[in-house]
Amino acid sequence: MMIHTNNYILNIKELWDDVPEEYLSHKERYENAIKKAFIVLKVLRQLHTGNIQITDHRTPTNVYSIQDGIFRNVNPLLIHIGLFWSTIAAQASTEQQAEWLQPDSSMIGTYVQTELGHGSFIRGIETTATYDSTTDEFILHTPRLSAYKWWPGGLGNTANACLVMAQLYINGTCHGLHIFLAQIRDFDTHKPLPGIKVGEIGPKMGFNTADNGFLGFDNHRIPRTNMLMKNVQVLRDGTYVKPKHDKLTYGSMLLTRVTLISDLAYQLSKAATIAVRYSAVRRQSPIKSNEPERQILDFVSQQHKLFITIASSHVYRVVGLWMWNSHKRVTADIHEGNMGQLPELHALACCLKAISSRDASALVEQCRLACGGHGYMMASNLPQIYAYTTAAVTYEGEYTVLLLQTARYLVKFWRLAAEHKPLPQNFAYFEDYIKKNFEQWRNSPEGIIEGFKAIVAGKTKAAYDTLQCNLRNGREFEEAWNMASVQLTNASEAYARSLLCEVFWKETVQLSTKVSKSLAIVLEQLAELYLMYWALEKHGDLLLYSTISRNDIEALQSRYEELLALIRPNAVGLVDAFDIRDEVLCSTLGAYDGRVYERMMEEASKSPLNEDVVNESFHKYIRPVTMKNKL
Ligand SMILES: CCCCCCCC/C=C\CCC/C=C/C(=O)SCCNC(=O)CCNC(=O)[C@H](O)C(C)(C)COP(=O)(O)OP(=O)(O)OC[C@H]1O[C@@H](n2cnc3c(N)ncnc32)[C@H](O)[C@@H]1OP(=O)(O)O
Ligand SMILES: Cc1cc2nc3c(=O)[nH]c(=O)nc-3n(C[C@H](O)[C@H](O)[C@H](O)COP(=O)(O)OP(=O)(O)OC[C@H]3O[C@@H](n4cnc5c(N)ncnc54)[C@H](O)[C@@H]3O)c2cc1C
């Protein structure tokens, strides 16, 4: 059947709420979301099997992104779709994939790694998988409370299977973390299997439609063949066949970190659309006292808050795609047995995931603030976008922890530079910095990119020197590292920013040659604005590490303000170009027709507190007091 998927989904009545979900209880929210999740899953399966086909060229992203409107929060099957299947596809052997990746599979799965006691430091995970060669099984066990799995999305009530990360033991030897497929609930009754203790962890700041859960195993047995065996194997006699690289097991985290960059770009474009459209509708204060009130988008300080959000959304879209392509390339190499590019990909994914999530949540909050009091309404959808976005700073590798991973990579190259050993081309600037080959400052995008590289070099040097000093003072390496960790994370952050600026600028210049002249001008303005914004934010660092002068900074400021004025006439067009439907934006402030106040009043009328003219609490609590006082 040929269908237009967007319209098809939009016309499925059960997917769209009459009562806004904020008014539902914790339990009702889940039940409402899971009903919708299985309708969406059915559509995805029909798409997969070809029973329905796409007539809309943008649909693959739309099926995913339209979910934001359907759930307003998050699809409880997100981890099933996004992590469970993709991990099997990436880490299971061909035979396992043939068995498990059936489109009509009964398995609803999740990715179970984090424990009550350990999230970031996964080597500390305590769940064990002990091989029993007499029965050809692994015994999954939770030795103590801190080893209980905690957090996985969909685990609380929905999943009947999971991929669990556990320490592998064979004949008393620990071989570290491995991934196992475990059934946890009966496929028919959905009751937890014997030896499984599973439940939901309770309300959170966001993600309240995803039933995040806990899980404990009491000597739960699974077949040996349920260990994911593409890269590593345990043979029938208990022989352990090592992987080609001991971090291949962490591949799902790497892939999700890469994917997240694009997802965050999308969240940013939603927030920008709401705040810019609202700012075009909202009038507050005249600029000159004898004039009518102006659109708040005309205030330059408002443009400063919002245009960087538009630009950042483009940055993360471009860089997300760039990383996606790198991931594809490196995965193909790994397939051929070449692990050489994996450390670089990991280092890039870590710092870019960290900075994209931090930027996105800060900018979404900035958009909310830019909408004044109305941005604080749930009906603006900005609080929900914030709650969703800020979670990404923590999950899939916590911010600081990931920056410290990238710092290991930077320090390695600084050590090479300090020892005058050959460096790869992309770190040649470390050598220039050491030799004081400083370029004369140029107030241009290219100049700013060079300036950011000088900051990376300067901050890596400072962190490295502190590390060396701590070592000379007799500290052990790990302790010396911890003492230098503030400087190390600063170096990583600078590295991420320099990559963002360089990739975005180069890709924009290239893209500009392929589009109309008028579009190219706007795209370059946005890219330049992004670079100028961050040069001004980091002008202190530029003064410390590059050859910029006070006059240069003043010139940058003028150019930045000029760019705000140049972008202003296109601001609404730029967010319209994100092409996000009203049903997905779910915002009284950001709808395409600009009927902000009418929509706010319509939404308010849905409040259960407006159902009765006089609420019964008046008779119970208020009247007895107020009437008594009257007497
Ligand atoms: C349709 C798809 C839609 C998807 C859309 C996405 C939206 C998703 C929305 C919501 C989903 C929420 C789901 C959340 C899920 C989770 O949170 S799952 C749990 C995630 N947990 C983590 O990320 C834990 C973070 N910790 C770690 O990753 C590790 O502990 C560590 C910090 C990396 C350290 O590991 P370890 O202690 O084992 O490492 P060390 O011994 O210190 O060695 C470090 C060296 O290993 C190299 N390394 C580390 N990781 C990797 C890797 N992944 N690949 C390659 N190399 C790696 C590292 O570079 C060090 O190398 P060096 O020694 O040479 O320096
Ligand atoms: C919404 C949401 C969904 C999630 N979904 C899943 C899921 O589906 N599956 C799953 O397995 N997990 C999931 N998680 C768990 C998530 O992966 C962890 O919360 C995350 O990895 C951080 O670990 P933690 O909570 O133990 O934080 P901690 O590691 O305890 O961090 C606390 C603080 O300690 C600091 N810290 C920790 N280690 C270091 C260090 N070495 N150096 C410096 N500072 C350090 C951190 O910077 C942070 O400030 C989810 C979490 C959230 C919030």
The H-or-E segment that residue 53 falls in is strand 53-54
CA of 401 to the centre of ligand 2 (A): 9
Say if ligand 1 is within 6 A of residue 575 CB: no
Q: How far is CA 375 from the centre of its chain?
A: 22
User: Which atom of ligand 1 has the smallest separation from the CA of 253?
Assistant: 23
Greatest C-alpha distance within the chain: 92
Q: Measured between alpha carbons, how far is 109 from 561 in angstroms, rounded to an integer?
A: 51
User: Which atom of ligand 1 has the smallest separation from the CA of 113?
Assistant: 19
CA of 514 to the centre of ligand 1 (A): 37
Query: In whole angstroms, how far apart are CA 15 and each of 25, 159, 259?
Result: 18, 21, 26
Say if ligand 2 is within 6 A of residue 400 CB: yes
Among 77, 395, 404, name the best residue to mutate to test ligand 2's pocket (greatest count of ligand atoms within 8 A of Cβ): 395
Superfamily the domain 252-421+431-575 falls into: Butyryl-CoA Dehydrogenase, subunit A, domain 3 (1.20.140.10)
Say if ligand 2 is within 6 A of residue 494 CB: no
CA of 254 to the centre of ligand 2 (A): 15
Tokens of 618: 């008046």
Taking alpha carbons only, the member of 10, 2, 123, 74 closest to residue 582 is 10
CA atoms within 13 A on the CB side of 539: 14
126 is catalytic: no
Q: How far is CA 209 from the centre of its chain?
A: 17
CA of 225 to the centre of ligand 1 (A): 25
Q: Which of the residues in the chain have pLDDT under 70? A: 1-6, 52-64, 629-631
CA nearest ligand 1 atom 12, residue:
395
Say if ligand 2 is within 6 A of residue 154 CB: no
CA of 196 to the centre of ligand 1 (A): 27
User: Which atom of ligand 2 has the smallest separation from the CA of 207?
Assistant: 1
User: Which atom of ligand 1 has the smallest separation from the CA of 349?
Assistant: 53
Say if ligand 1 is within 6 A of residue 452 CB: no
* Residue 611, helix vs strand vs coil: coil
Say if ligand 1 is within 6 A of residue 253 CB: yes
Say if ligand 1 is within 6 A of residue 82 CB: yes
> What is the predicted pLDDT for the residue at 48?
74
Say if ligand 2 is within 6 A of residue 401 CB: yes
Say if ligand 2 is within 6 A of residue 113 CB: yes
Query: In whole angstroms, how far apart are CA 428 and each of 335, 414, 498?
Result: 30, 10, 14
The H-or-E segment that residue 199 falls in is strand 196-200
For residue 421, the one-letter residue type is K
Strands 2-3 vs 53-54: parallel, antiparallel or unpaired: parallel
DSSP string, 156-177: TTT-SEEEEEEEEEETTEEEEE
CA nearest ligand 2 atom 23, residue:
119
CA of 386 to the centre of ligand 1 (A): 24
Residues 129, 131, 136, 139: is their CA dihedral positive or negative?
Answer: negative
| Total Cβ atoms within 10 A of residue 628 | 8
Ligand nearest to the CA of 331: 1
Among 247, 264, 348, name the best residue to mutate to test ligand 1's pocket (greatest count of ligand atoms within 8 A of Cβ): 247
CA of 120 to the centre of ligand 2 (A): 5
User: Among residues 21, 115, 396, 450, which one is catalytic?
Assistant: 396
CA dihedral 12, 13, 14, 20 (to 10 degrees): 130
**Residue 7, phi then psi, degrees to nearest 5:** -65, -40
CA of 256 to the centre of ligand 1 (A): 10
Ligand nearest to the CA of 485: 2
Q: Measured between alpha carbons, how far is 262 from 582 in angstroms, rounded to an integer?
A: 21
Tokens of 149: 């799995």
Taking alpha carbons only, the member of 245, 220, 216, 213 closest to residue 30 is 213
Superfamily the domain 106-243 falls into: Butyryl-CoA Dehydrogenase, subunit A, domain 2 (2.40.110.10)
526 neighbors 311 (Cβ within 8 angstroms): yes
Taking alpha carbons only, the member of 590, 598, 599 closest to residue 572 is 590
Say if ligand 2 is within 6 A of residue 122 CB: no
> What is the predicted pLDDT for the residue at 59?
43
What is the total residue count of the chain?
631
Say if ligand 1 is within 6 A of residue 396 CB: yes
Tokens of 229: 């065996």
CA of 396 to the centre of ligand 2 (A): 7
Say if ligand 2 is within 6 A of residue 151 CB: yes
Domain ranges of the chain: 2-75, 106-243, 252-421+431-575
Query: In whole angstroms, how far apart are CA 614 and each of 153, 589, 603, 621?
Result: 41, 29, 19, 13
CA nearest ligand 1 atom 62, residue:
408
- Asked if the interface predicted TM-score (ipTM) of this complex is over 0.90, the answer is yes
Say if ligand 2 is within 6 A of residue 207 CB: yes
Among 87, 151, 487, name the best residue to mutate to test ligand 2's pocket (greatest count of ligand atoms within 8 A of Cβ): 151
Say if ligand 1 is within 6 A of residue 372 CB: no
User: Which atom of ligand 1 has the smallest separation from the CA of 254?
Assistant: 53
This prediction's pTM: 0.97
Q: Measured between alpha carbons, how far is 405 from 345 in angstroms, rounded to an integer?
A: 12
